[in-house]
Structures are given as structure tokens and as C-alpha cells.
Chain A
Amino acid sequence: AQKVTQAQTEISVVEKEDVTLDCVYETRDTTYYLFWYKQPPSGELVFLIRRNSFDEQNEISGRYSWNFQKSTSSFNFTITASQVVDSAVYFCALNEEGRRALTFGSGTRLQVQP
């Protein structure tokens, strides 16, 4: 069975600080896909990134970066120089090959104070 754990329930930082959101996953499959979504106060889930299990290269997109480590089953998300607009709930999700349903973690609420 697949499972995603986001141990950090809530994080509060001051603007311009760097922050890392942790995600640990469990799966028995060798082929799987990992996702991060952002859910701002408006409620709509916004897709951020997708990685497959065969690509462990870290990815950077502007102030966002992702660190995928199969050895520790982790897919962590770092925001550099955080901004108030980054305040949201962030979800990590997993999908195994052959399945259709995403399994989400319980989310991390990030508050960026000005």
C-alpha cells in the first residue's frame, strides 16, 4: 500500500528566509510518481512538480527546488527567499504505476510573515 507522510503540520518563517518542507513516502513498487501541490487560501490545488522514480535528479524552478532521494524515500521541497505569497498549504502526493488515485500526505501549512 502507498503512504505519504508530511510530519510538519505547520511552519512559520519570516519573509526572505529559506524553508524546507519534508515528504516521506512508502511504496512497494519500483515505478511510481511523486507530486507537489500548493493549496492557497482560495482552496484550489495548484500543481507544482511531478517526478518519476527513475529520475533522481534534483530540480530547480526559480525560488523552488526539490530533492528526491530514493535511499531515504524522501521528496523534499525547498523555497528560497520565501515571500508572503508563498503562504499556503503544501501537499506531497504519490501515485504507483497501474493506479489512478493520488495518495496525499496531510499537508504542511506554511505561513510567511512580512
Chain B
Amino acid sequence: GAGVSQTPSNKVTEKGKYVELRCDPISGHTALYWYRQSLGQGPEFLIYFQGTGAADDSGLPNDRFFAVRPEGSVSTLKIQRTERGDSAVYLCASSLLGGASSTQYFGPGTRLLVL
């Protein structure tokens, strides 16, 4: 079946602008995760959804970052007043269940560049 998809694949924006990044998880997966990957680093956790609710948002760096998953499927990561330091690849993953043992399957990522 189809894997995790993310749009757009690339996003260039100017400092101070608002951006939305979309994630479409694997069908039937109840858990959804957002990570951020900077150049030369491993992914870093941002937020986790179980169903429609954000069960853990401890990784969000500040209140400019927000994510929603209103119907328990597609999720949108929203970044307000973007800063150059927000430039990174934003990865979305989903898993069938939300436990620590559940394998997370990743999408191709959205490469965000803030000028």
C-alpha cells in the first residue's frame, strides 16, 4: 500500500512568513509523529498524535510551532513568524499503534528553507 506522504517536498519562504506542512499517514495508522532533521544530524522529535489529540508536544521548540490532526488522519504542522533557524527537513512518521515498540514509518520529508 501507499506509504507516508508529505507535501510540499520543498518550501522556500521569507523570514517572518507563515508556513504549513502537510502529512498523510499510512492508512489505518493511529499514531502520527513529526520530527525535524537538521543537516548532518539525526531526526529530533517534535510532536506525537494518538488519534486526533496531541498526546505529547514536548519537542515543539516554542509557541510559533503548532500541529493539528482534526480527523485523526492527515496532519498539518504550522510555523508562524518563521526564522532562519527553522530551516531543516521536517519528517512525518506514522505507526499502527502508538506504543514504544511500534515501528515508525517515515515519509520523504519537507525541506524548508527560510531566507
Contacts and interface: CB of A to CB of B under 8 A. Distances in A.
A43 to B, nearest CB: 5
Given A102-B43, A102-B45, A50 B103 contact: yes
A93 B45 CA distance: 12
B100 A43 contact: no
Interface in B23-80: 31, 33, 35, 40-45, 48, 55-56, 58-59
B100 A100 contact: yes
Contact of B106 (A4, A37, A103): A37
B41 A106 contact: yes
Interface in A77-99: 91, 93, 95-99
A107 B42 contact: yes
Contacts of A43: 89, 108-109, 111
Nearest to B48: A100
Nearest to A96: B100
A100 B103 contact: no
Contacts of A4: 42
A14 interface: no
A34 to B, nearest CB: 11
A46 B56 CA distance: 24
Contacts of B107: 44
A37 B107 CA distance: 13
B40 A33 contact: no
B33 A101 contact: yes
A104 B43 contact: yes
Contacts of B106: 37, 44-47
A42 interface: yes
Contact of A50 (B89, B98, B101): B101
22 contacts: A31-B100, A32-B100, A33-B101, A42-B108, A43-B89, A44-B107, A45-B91, A45-B93, A47-B104, A47-B106, A93-B42, A95-B101, A97-B100, A97-B101, A100-B31, A100-B100, A101-B33, A101-B48, A101-B58, A101-B59, A103-B45, A104-B44
Interface of B: 31, 33, 35, 40-45, 48, 55-56, 58-59, 89, 91, 93, 98, 100-101, 103-109, 111
